[in-house]
Amino acid sequence: MLEAPTLIRSGITDFHNNRNFFEAEHWEEYVDGTVLKKKVHDNGYGSKTMSESGQKLNINRLPDVQLLTNAEGYFQQFKDGAGNSFDSLQAMLEAKKEFLAWEYKNTTTETIEGDDKTERIYHRREGHDFVSGEEWENTKRFTKHDNSEEVVNRAKDASGEWSESYSQHRRERWSKKEGRRGG
């Protein structure tokens, strides 16, 4: 059975006012070099965005990384082989971007527009695996009042790249796929 990585630090920040504006973020940092974040932003005027993102630092490629703790065993800082100190894993990720193993971001935006209260939902997923060279991007737009939908997927790996898209609007539908594999 796979064991979950050990959590180093986590936190929550939030802000809201009396006009229905709301913003919150939850983040977690793990010993294996992973940082996960979840964010919610509601402007109070019919638009809400929820996102989830993650990054992983390839700690095995970094020379002499140390995790320093206090006497009670709580995290204090990271120290690299060059003697640089980092107060958080996020700060080390920003300084050592060339050592990223992977990163991803998933976003969902919901909006209600106009006098007819048209509800639109937009999903976007994107990521990059720096070890294998794989990249992906998926988007989906959905409008509730007429059940229209548009989807676009793109991907790239060591053997090629491809994209596909499809759409439907009432009774009209179309699709397209193109790409190359193996050179």
* pLDDT for residue 1 is more than 70: no
- Label residue 37 by pLDDT band (50, 70, 90): very high
- pLDDT band of 22, cuts 50, 70, 90: very high
List Cβ<8 Å contacts ≥24 apart for 6-12: 6/30, 6/31, 6/32, 7/31, 8/67, 8/75, 8/89, 9/75, 9/88, 9/89
pLDDT digits (tens, 9 = 90+) for 152-170: 999 998 889 999 999 998 8
Share of the chain above pLDDT 90, in %: 48
Residue-level pLDDT at 2? 58
* DSSP string for 75-143: EEEEE-TTS-EESSHHHHHHHTGGGEEEEEEEEEEEEEETTTTEEEEEEEEEEEETTT--EEEEEEEEE
Residue type, 91: A
How distant, in Å, are the alpha carbons of 24, 62, 78, 98, 147 from that of 92? 23, 11, 8, 11, 45
Tokens of 63: 């020379």
Give the model's pLDDT for residue 166: 92
For the chain, what is the mean pLDDT?
A: 88
pTM for this prediction? 0.83
pLDDT at res. 36:
96
- pLDDT number for residue 183: 56
